[in-house]
Structure 1
Amino acid sequence: MKRLMIASALALWSLPLLAAPGHEYAFGKPAAAAQATRTVEVVMGDMYFEPRALQVKAGETVRFVLVNNGQVPHEFNLGDAAMHARHQQEMLAMQGQMDHSAMGHGGMNHGGDDHGAMGSGGMQHDDPNMVMVAPGKRAELTWTFSQSTPIEFACNVPGHYQAGMVGKLTIAK
């Protein structure tokens, strides 16, 4: 039963959360790791990022090395507050689908916080501005920042942003 529930959750996670084709980002674009001019390590623990704030320069390409030292999957997502709010709603809807599918297969998820099914190491979103990292795993995201605009890096797994898993990213001119 548990394997079926995990398989269902993984199938749901393979669906795109936001439409990637043609998606524009005012703050920059994805880049190849070889183009990076700087590497920044970001440690993700349960309900925190270290460091909590980052500064980059417009035109700079940064390779983020993401290390999940927590016990549950975490997401590293670049965006403004409105983008994070939209993504959180999509994540909540997806979690509701996982909870509902688990109940249909004989399992019950009363707490709504069953993150065990949400991270498997190979799981990725379709949007280039985010990556999901399983507990004890590492991942990378490389980004070229284009203009000075206020953005955040955040984990939008339901409840994580609200628990403080968000940091300020300043793009200097």
Structure 2
Amino acid sequence: MFRKLSSAALVAAITAAGGAAALAVPGAAGHGDGFAFGEPGDPKKPARVVQIVMKEGDGQMLFIPDRIKVRKGEQIRFAMKNNGENEHEFVIGTVEENRAHAAQMQKNPDMEHDDPNARRLSARQNGDIVWRFSKAGTFEYACLIPGHLEAGMKGTIVVR
């Protein structure tokens, strides 16, 4: 059985645990103007589709591709396919936010996400996230299930 935590509950859990409330959660401390890396997209508007494959093997867990380039203001529909035998996540954030979230996942490995920037997929499942990158910078997508990030499951998003 999975526990569902909203973004607000996750921030509260991190704060209560003495961790930094650095997750990119709208309305959280320091994030009153939205996420540090953009905002949820509008599925009714056009979007460039970026196929993301989740894969595992030879002691590694990977996203293919592991690097994408985006124009500032561009809307992307990440079309994800989990080709692995395990559950995987796709969480968009800054490196710092994802590491803070990964630390919480170590303590709560069954945590599910109910956030616009994250999706958990069972083996052989497909899913998508629509995101508008309204801010320039270098960001990350990662699988924060314990052990997966450490096995290499991360990618870079460069927004110019």
Q: 1:29 aligns with which of 13, 17, 39?
A: 39
1:142 deviates by 0.3
Identity %: 35
1:43 deviates by 0.4
Map residues 1-173 of structure 1 onto 2, 5 A cutoff: 9-10=1-2, 12=3, 14-16=4-6, 18-19=10-11, 22-23=27-28, 24-46=34-56, 47-95=61-109, 125-172=113-160
1:53 deviates by 0.6
1:26 deviates by 1.8
SS in 2 for 1:85: helix
More helix by share: 1
SS in 2 for 1:34: coil
Structure 1 portions without partners, runs of 5+? 1-8, 99-117, 119-123
Number of aligned pairs? 136
Which consecutive aligned stretches of 4+ in structure 1 deviate over 2 angstroms post-superposition?
A: 15-24
* 2:81 aligned partner, one-letter code: V
Q: Distance in 2 between matches of 1:125 and 1:36?
A: 25
Aligned alpha-carbon RMSD (Å): 1.7
Q: Distance in 1 between matches of 2:127 and 2:158?
A: 22
Structure 2 portions without partners, runs of 5+? 12-24, 29-33
SS in 1 for 2:5: coil
More strand by share: 2
Tell me the alpha carbon deviations over residues 120-142 of structure 1, each in whole angstroms, 9 at most, x when there is no partner.
Answer: xxxx5122111101100000100
8 Å CA contact 1:26–1:146 kept in 2: the answer is no
8 Å CA contact 2:36–2:94 kept in 1: the answer is no
Q: Distance in 1 between matches of 2:131 and 2:26?
A: 17
TM score, norm. by length of structure 1: 0.73
SS in 2 for 1:71: coil
